[in-house]
């Protein structure tokens, strides 16, 4: 690996303009003017801030009043760089869970090198210090641990203890009730799944008047069982199809079926959102109120909740709109929220449901961005369209002369597939030029517009075009769009991506030697499969933290959890389909292939780096010369801090510039 790194990096770092680009990317990532994103815990708002002086970050906090100022008065809670130096570990912040309403006791997750597995330590948010086990503090060694506070002295926890404690996917199989000061191994098991499940988990709701504990069993990536823990310790399974997603808020159940669901004499289509009171449902009532029904253009991307309002994040041809329901009204009332369009809207409620009285119960932060518009955040309130601007990200690249257009390609089966083209304002009159095609197409993940930031700086501002393909397998049009390319229908994702590429070439926007592909994780599988199926279409491929060996993926790390997405390689009929597109198995002697750069991470404990390593070894054995970069840390994200991110991005865009004919140096 080190030999391949040295060889590839020496070539790419010699690209004219590499150091300049790397410096620009690092400056952007460390820019003191970027928006500090916050999370509420009681009266404080917390932020993890990384910059040149603090590569791993300062975990800090301020009040909301101070946050509204140009220069908030931040108070440092934990210095990750100082902690790593003192302990000789490469710590990466991996989240925190503080116990309401006091918000003094906190479970802090620390990942060594950015892996999904982490240490779990108890932290005192008042004294800003760790509580060691010898003082009674909770501590769990590195594992893929899930934990919830039950009370000040009790956790509901799933972690690695013995061969029965984990599923085949490497996630918790058991939930234990762990009392402070007692051995974790002696904590009683209160809930257990099967080895072939993805995971089990617990959720604790301390909303006054609506206290409850739920235990969940993920049967696969898209099917779940939900159990209500009753006062006598018995479990009551909710009478729901496993494909119905569940949300609980105060007295309400929010239900979203992933398949058409006939209940109570009505059929509710997949992707709808339904409302009923929990107590009525438990008593046998099935009169569900539809809050959202999808159509050919609109799907439900997500939803958010204040105390009394439900905000629906609606995707309309892959751009965001907001709808609002007043749940305090009888019956609940709907209205459209006036918000920027088209682009990406995201809502961050500030309500703390565990406070009996909360001055921020109806407040939320509204973020907006699109491909060419930097992120901005405003303070909004349920029931109103009035907003107070709080922060705005300065532009990170020169977008003058650029425009965004949405087009549709026709896939092999006649399906219209949307894609965004970001480039010159008059693309049809511009000469063919370097074009980067980006996609994902899996796990019902939608690629909605986001501010391009580093991609804009490294690629668009230097004259390149970007195309974002919204192919099947993603969630752009709800569950049906995803399911159309799930399992044995996976080829449709590749057909869609290839159809977009063919249209770009047919329109004269680029030549094959100017068309590059980029995708990560499932997107790495996508770009590798398409490059092998239609190598004549592409000049370069950036394949990031990829999934490539579809015969063995379910035996590596978290791979078993993805069989609902791809299929079971041990099933002969599934394997017959998987083999036809598995990139590792589709490498053949005597085939001309486009140039490829593969990137991965030694500390990726989600998609094993063996996928990329084996693929590169096989390519080399067949006489190809792929480039390969394996980061020593960074996990599935590929980088642990801004310096590593800037370096990796500079390597990737230097590769694309060399292969597709883009000059990194200014003219």
- CA 465, 504, 370, 494 torsion-angle sign: negative
Q: Mark 4-29 as b/e (b = at least 16 C-beta within 10 Å).
A: bbeebbeebeebebbeebbebbbebb
- Are residues 544 and 636 in contact, defined by beta-carbon separation less than 8 angstroms? no
Q: Is the model's pLDDT at 426 over the cut of 90?
A: no
Task: Check residue 428 and give its pLDDT.
Answer: 61
Q: Can you tell me the distance from the alpha carbon of 463 to that of 293, in angstroms, rounded to the nearest whole number?
A: 42
CATH class of this structure's domain 403-660? alpha beta
Residues 6+ apart with CB under 8 A from 532: 583, 586, 587, 591, 593
Answer whether 298's CB lies under 8 Å from 316's CB. yes
From the candidates 201, 272, 521, 595, which is the catalytic residue?
521
Q: Cβ(458)–Cβ(653) under 8 Å? A: yes
Neighbours of 358 (CB within 10 A): 16
Q: Is the pLDDT of residue 667 over 60?
A: no
Neighbouring CB atoms inside 10 A of 225's CB total: 18
pLDDT tens, position by position, 35-71: 999 999 999 999 999 999 999 999 999 999 999 999 9
Specify whether the CB–CB gap between 311 and 351 falls below 8 A.
no
- Does residue 427 have a pLDDT over 70? no
- Quick one: pLDDT band at residue 617, thresholds 50, 70, 90? very high
Which residues make Cβ contacts (< 8 Å) with residue 381, sequence separation at least 6? 362, 363, 364
User: Which residue intervals of the chain bear CATH 3.40.50.1820?
Assistant: 403-660
User: Is 521 one of the annotated active-site residues of the chain?
Assistant: yes
The model's confidence at residue 608, banded by pLDDT at 50, 70 and 90, is very high
Neighbour count for residue 40 (Cβ, 10 Å): 20
Question: Which pLDDT belongs to residue 666?
Answer: 67
Is the pLDDT confidence value at 294 over 60? yes
- Span 330-340, average pLDDT: 96
pLDDT over 70 for what percent of the chain? 99
Residue ranges of E strands in 470-592: 515-520, 540-544
Question: How far apart are alpha carbons 287 and 151 in whole angstroms?
Answer: 35
Nearest CA among 8, 186, 64 for reference residue 595 = 8
Active-site residue, 272 included = no
How far apart CA 146 and CA 155 sit, in angstroms, is: 10
Q: What is the mean pLDDT of the chain?
A: 96
Ramachandran angles phi, psi of 482, nearest 5°: -70, -50
Query: Of residues 54, 249, 309, 636, which has the active-site annotation?
Result: 636
pLDDT of residue 216: 98
Tokens 């668009």: give the residue.
Answer: 460
């Amino acid at each position: 690996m080190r030999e391949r790194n040295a060889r590839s990096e020496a070539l790419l770092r010699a690209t004219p303009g590499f150091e300049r680009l790397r410096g620009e990317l690092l400056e952007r990532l460390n820019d003191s003017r970027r928006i500090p994103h916050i999370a509420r815990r009681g009266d404080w708002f917390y932020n993890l801030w990384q910059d040149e002086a603090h590569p791993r970050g300062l975990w800090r906090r301020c009040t909301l009043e101070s946050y509204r100022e140009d220069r908030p008065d931040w108070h440092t809670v934990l210095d990750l760089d100082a902690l790593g130096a003192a302990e000789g570990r490469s710590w990466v912040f991996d989240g925190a869970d503080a116990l309401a309403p006091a918000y003094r006791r906190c479970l802090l997750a620390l990942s060594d090198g950015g892996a999904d597995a982490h240490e779990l330590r108890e932290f005192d948010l008042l004294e800003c210090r760790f509580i060691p086990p010898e003082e009674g503090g909770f501590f769990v060694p590195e594992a893929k641990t899930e934990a919830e506070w039950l009370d000040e002295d009790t956790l509901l926890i799933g972690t690695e203890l013995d061969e029965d404690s984990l599923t085949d996917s490497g996630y918790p199989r058991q939930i234990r009730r762990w009392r402070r000061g007692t051995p974790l191994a002696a904590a009683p098991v209160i809930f257990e799944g099967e080895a072939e499940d993805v995971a089990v988990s617990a959720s604790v709701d301390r909303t006054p008047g609506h206290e409850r504990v739920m235990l969940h069993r993920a049967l696969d990536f898209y099917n779940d069982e939900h159990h209500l823990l009753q006062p006598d310790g018995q479990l009551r399974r909710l009478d729901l199809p496993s494909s119905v997603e569940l949300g609980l808020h105060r007295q309400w159940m929010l239900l979203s079926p992933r398949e058409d669901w006939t209940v109570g004499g009505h059929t509710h289509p997949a992707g709808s959102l339904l409302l009923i009171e929990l107590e009525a449902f438990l008593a046998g009532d099935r009169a569900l109120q539809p809050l959202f029904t999808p159509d050919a253009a609109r799907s439900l991307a997500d939803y958010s909740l204040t105390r009394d309002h439900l905000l629906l994040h609606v995707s309309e041809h892959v751009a965001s709109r907001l709808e609002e329901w007043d749940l305090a009204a009888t019956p609940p009332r709907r209205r459209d929220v006036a918000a920027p369009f088209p682009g990406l809207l995201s809502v961050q409620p500030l309500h703390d449901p565990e406070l009996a009285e909360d001055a921020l119960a109806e407040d939320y932060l509204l973020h907006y961005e699109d491909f060419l518009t930097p992120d901005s955040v405003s303070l909004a309130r349920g029931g109103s369209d009035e907003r107070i601007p709080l922060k705005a990200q300065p532009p990170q690249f020169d977008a003058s002369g650029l425009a965004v257009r949405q087009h549709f390609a026709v896939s092999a089966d006649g399906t219209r597939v949307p894609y965004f083209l970001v480039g010159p304002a008059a693309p049809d009159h511009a000469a063919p030029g370097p074009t980067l095609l980006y996609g994902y197409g899996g796990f019902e993940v939608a690629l909605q517009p986001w501010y391009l930031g580093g991609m804009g700086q490294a690629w668009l501002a230097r004259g390149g075009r970007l195309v974002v393909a919204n192919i099947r397998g993603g969630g752009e049009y709800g569950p049906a769009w995803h399911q159309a390319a799930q399992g044995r229908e996976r080829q449709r994702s590749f057909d869609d991506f290839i159809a977009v590429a063919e249209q770009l070439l047919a329109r004269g926007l680029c030549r094959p030697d100017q068309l590059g592909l980029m995708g990560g994780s499932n997107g790495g599988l996508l770009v590798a499969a398409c490059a092998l199926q239609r190598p004549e279409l592409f000049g370069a491929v950036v394949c990031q933290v990829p999934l490539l060996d579809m015969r063995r993926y379910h035996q590596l790390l978290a791979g078993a959890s993805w069989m609902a997405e791809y299929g079971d390689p041990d099933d002969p009929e599934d394997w017959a389909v998987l083999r036809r597109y598995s990139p590792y198995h589709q490498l053949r002697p005597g085939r001309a292939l486009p140039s490829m750069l593969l990137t991965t991470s030694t500390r990726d404990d989600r998609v094993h780096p063996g996928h990329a390593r084996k693929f590169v070894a096989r390519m080399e054995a067949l006489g190809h010369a792929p480039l390969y970069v394996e980061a020593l840390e960074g996990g599935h994200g590929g980088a642990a801090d801004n310096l590593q991110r800037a370096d990796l991005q500079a390597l990737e865009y230097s590769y694309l510039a060399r292969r597709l004919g883009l000059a990194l140096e200014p003219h």
